[in-house]
Structure 1
Amino acid sequence: MKRQRWLHSTAILGISVALLAPLTTGTASAAGAAGQAAAQPSEQVVVSTSPEAPAAADQGARTAAPCNVYNRTVLCWRTKLTVTVIRNRVVTGRLYGTITQTINLKTTSRAFSERISLKTDRIVGNAGGIRAGFSVSCGSGCRARSTGVNGKTLRVGSIIRGKISYSDGVRFGRVHQARTRYVLSPLKPGYVPGPATWRSPIDFRCDDRMRRTSTSRGPKAGCVFPRFTPTLTTMRSLRFIAPNIRTWQRRGAPKVLHRNNFLTAANRRAVCGRATLPPGWRPPAGWPLPATGNNRPSCDEYAFAGTNEGGARRGNGYGWVPLRENNSQGGRIATFFNQQRVLNATSARTRGDAFRVSV
């Protein structure tokens, strides 16, 4: 009898749906499997998985808790597991479980880790004595090593806990983006395993593009979840810049920007190039005096010049702030980009990473 390959959960969707009906020992179970009779081994253990989709964490959250949520460096999600035992093309048992996975990235390292737990919630019929065959991969140039899960027996009430260590080999100036990939094979003596394959619900990204040269002191390689949009909040403490940003955001300037330093000079000229102080301008209350040198008025544009949304666009504008505060803003933005690994665009025509500005 020809053996069918079971390499992805979607490949077993047809049989798993047919097998979700309550267990019986009569002709109903046999009829449910009859359509697959020509392709199935007579003794088989099949796995199906139903992962839950995680949501972006609150912008103020530092960790991705509770599960099924993610932020810039932490992803947690759960997957429902069903193992179906088939003998002579009749369902003789099922095992139900829950897989919980948490990936922790580091913005300053290519190495990251994952915690995985497999809880057996219920066993029905002849689904006992099943061991977990487990493997993991993370794409080209990335190595993964798992411990604690492979070969362990699934028992009701017990939780199998494992750890996965990753090491990404991304080189200087390069970016590697992928999803982690998992294969779970149910091992039961005398039965042919039908593995399930699933991936992490979102991509991780490791890069070494933040340094100017391979020997510079800038941020070395690190990893993030690029789908999460980080929020810049350090403008809030700048006395004159913060209300300037609030003003233009209220007037329609975007709160989500995309980094693009290739556009900085042109965008700045378009907004501040011809800006002049209003006649009779006087320093407002709180302005550092005298209003000369580092305290002299400086044109502060929003949206930021070094973004795709900057320049003379509808809703954008400028205000006057002390030069020292404007210089401080530039340093704070650069620090935020480095800490969150907000990658620059690759040209004036492309878009870099998104980030949110909150004041």
Structure 2
Amino acid sequence: MAFSALGTLSLLTVTVQESSAAQVAAEVREVVPSAAGQAPSLAQGAGVDLAGQTCDDVTPRMLSSVARTGEDKILCLKDAKPAPEATAKSTPAPPQVQDARGVCDTQPNRYFYDRFTGCVNTKVGYEVIDTRTGKVTGTASFTAIQDVTLQTSDSMWHSEVSLRLDSATGSATGLTAAWRTTCDSSACTSGDDAWTGSQPISVGKVLDGATTLTWAAGSGINQQKFGFRNTITINAGGAVLINPAWFAFPQQIRCDNDFGSGTRMGCVFPDYIPTLDMAITHAGHANVGWSMNNLIDKWGWQGKGQPLTREKDQSVRDQNRAKICEDGTWKAMPDPVPTDSCDEFAFAATNQSGGQLGLTGKDCAQIRPAQENGQWVVYYYGSVSNKRCTIGHVPLSENVSVGGSLSNFYQGQRVLDDEKFWLYVH
């Protein structure tokens, strides 16, 4: 029976639907700026309550109080208006790292993230109000962009930021801006300024800067999640600033020291499910591809089955392999498969291994992938229908190769115990 390269296994999807980030390879979502105060939760989304924090909440009593100090105008944050949703088209291609800055440069009030990079683009508007008349005498509108880069093997993460003044009217003059990024937890350094002090900004001008924060893992701490936010302080000549604008980066970071014998730290966006990309170059890969296509669970196939999850415990992994490959079902075939070995799927290093599902080798489909006349064919031994696991006859070096790819993937993507991942086989 011919084996087909899985050209339809598309794992790159960009969407703004309210599905969980765990269901897609990358997401673009809405982000709404707020004023100083309690950070809105992601669950609140565009409906976050900004009461008590914007120009809409400036009262005559407040204006009179400021006027008595001799100030004739105040500067306040306008109510944030969410942009309409927009959905990018999905593409039938293997997952790729996209240009995060390009995404956020062109999509106002949206954010993007993958495993190690992210960006956010948000609009910030201010009004100048006359303290004597209560009338708006000036407005200013800004675009704020932040690009975040996490490190695969470092506890430090970096962001490049930019602030552009899009428009300014009336008494919104003599504007200056400051930007500070802060962590919401004592787990990381408290904060960093994107540039020194408050810098002048005029219409069309862009202030560029950068911030760096570091995870400060305590003794015995293996992993932590936390968020960070950006405070943008705008001042206008002769105006009293009521509240600076701020926005939280919409995704939490997780840092861990789970690899390199607990010495190699690194950080990821954990809500992004990584994908192990596997081109079919030998029988071990073909064994995986056939199994994804034909086992009833379709483990690891995004859109068809559920993600695989890592099993970290070596003793459990050994037990998984023994239950599938050492129950007497699998027999070596040295003639058609030199250095024949038992290659099981789902991997012993996952919670979806047949052994962990309570199965043994006799419950699995037994196959032998072989390349003939330039294409992969699969030979069956007994029934392969309605099976949840596979035992494949694969040369030992190719079996080891798949295991090495999985191990390198775990380390490179910092996949922790029980954490989800997808497969892309082509």
TM range (shorter): 0.7 to 0.9
What residue in structure 1 maps to residue 103 of structure 2? 66
Whether the 8 Å contact between 1:50 and 1:81 is mirrored in structure 2 is no
The verdict on how the C-alpha distance between 1:327 and 1:130 changes in structure 2, with shifts beyond 3 A counting, is: same
Whether the 8 Å contact between 1:174 and 1:209 is mirrored in structure 2 is yes
Shifted more, 245-254 versus 5-14: the winner is 5-14
Paired residues for 1:1-359 under 5 Å: 6-7=36-37, 12-13=50-51, 16=54, 18=56, 36-38=59-61, 43-48=73-78, 59-61=95-97, 63-64=99-100, 65-67=102-104, 68-88=111-131, 89-138=134-183, 139-143=185-189, 144-148=191-195, 150-171=197-218, 173-188=221-236, 189-212=238-261, 214=263, 220-233=264-277, 235-251=278-294, 252-255=297-300, 256-262=307-313, 263-277=316-330, 281=333, 283-284=335-336, 287=337, 291=338, 295=339, 297-311=340-354, 313=357, 315-343=388-416, 345=417, 351=418, 353-359=419-425
Instruction: Give the letter for the 1:274 counterpart.
Output: D
Aligned with 1:261: secondary structure? coil
Shifted more, 99-108 versus 48-57: the winner is 48-57
The verdict on how the C-alpha distance between 1:278 and 1:308 changes in structure 2, with shifts beyond 3 A counting, is: closer
Residue 358 of structure 1, CA deviation: 1.5
Residue 161 of structure 1, CA deviation: 0.8
Structure 2 CA distance for aligned equivalents of residues 205 and 93 of structure 1: 42
Q: Which consecutive unaligned segments of at least 5 residues does structure 2 have?
A: 1-34, 40-47, 67-72, 105-110, 301-306, 358-386
- The structure whose RCO (Cα within 8 Å, separation 6+) is larger is 2
The number of residues matched between the two structures is 317
Aligned with 1:127: secondary structure? coil
Whether the 8 Å contact between 1:95 and 1:122 is mirrored in structure 2 is yes
Structure 2 CA distance for aligned equivalents of residues 342 and 51 of structure 1: 34
Aligned with 1:332: secondary structure? helix
Whether the 8 Å contact between 2:354 and 2:388 is mirrored in structure 1 is no
Residue 269 of structure 1, CA deviation: 3.4
Structure 2 CA distance for aligned equivalents of residues 333 and 51 of structure 1: 42
When the two structures are superposed, what TM-score results if normalisation uses the length of structure 1? 0.77
Structure 2 CA distance for aligned equivalents of residues 13 and 150 of structure 1: 29
Whether the 8 Å contact between 1:8 and 1:197 is mirrored in structure 2 is no
Structure 2 CA distance for aligned equivalents of residues 191 and 307 of structure 1: 59
The verdict on how the C-alpha distance between 1:311 and 1:277 changes in structure 2, with shifts beyond 3 A counting, is: closer
What residue in structure 2 maps to residue 217 of structure 1? none
Q: Percent identity?
A: 26
Whether the 8 Å contact between 1:141 and 1:170 is mirrored in structure 2 is yes
Structure 1 CA distance for aligned equivalents of residues 82 and 255 of structure 2: 24
Instruction: Give the letter for the 1:142 counterpart.
Output: C
Shifted more, 111-120 versus 81-90: the winner is 81-90
Aligned with 1:66: secondary structure? helix
Whether the 8 Å contact between 2:344 and 2:390 is mirrored in structure 1 is yes
The verdict on how the C-alpha distance between 1:231 and 1:51 changes in structure 2, with shifts beyond 3 A counting, is: farther
Structure 1 CA distance for aligned equivalents of residues 153 and 112 of structure 2: 22
Residue 39 of structure 1, CA deviation: 5.5
Structure 1 CA distance for aligned equivalents of residues 81 and 245 of structure 2: 10
| TM-superposition CA deviations, 1:81-121 (whole Å, max 9, x none) | 11122223322221111111101111111122111000111
Residue 163 of structure 1, CA deviation: 0.9
